[in-house]
Amino acid sequence: MSAPDSAQRKACWAARDELWSCLDQNQDQASRCHSFQQDFEDRCPAQWVKYFSKRRDFLKYKEKMQTEGFTPAEGPKQSL
């Protein structure tokens, strides 16, 4: 597959933004954003879909860590 041209990239990014907006408005319930997901997958190369999906997960995780903080899990108790 050849690299997307400028118009194809813009269409992909717009589809991504519409999907992410839908997911944000619907508390990440993908079933409510099926048409946006399909449009996103149709307009973007498969590698980009995979990358943007992982990127969204990372950004959501990062936002959660910044707002809620990090609490390390308790490890095994060490005896002295």
CA–CA distance, 73 with 1 (Å, rounded to integer): 45
Is 74 a domain residue?
no
Is 54 a domain residue?
yes
Q: Could you give the number of structural domains in the chain?
A: 1
Is 75 a domain residue?
no
pLDDT at residue 1, as a whole number: 57
Q: Which long-range contacts (CB under 8 A, 24 or more apart) does 28-34 make?
A: 28/60
Check if the beta carbon of residue 33 is closer than 8 Å to that of residue 26: yes
For the entire predicted model, the pTM comes to 0.79
Is 40 a domain residue?
yes
**Could you report the average pLDDT of every consecutive run of 10 residues in the chain (80 residues)?**
88 97 93 96 96 96 89 74
**Residue 15 belongs to domain spanning:** 6-66
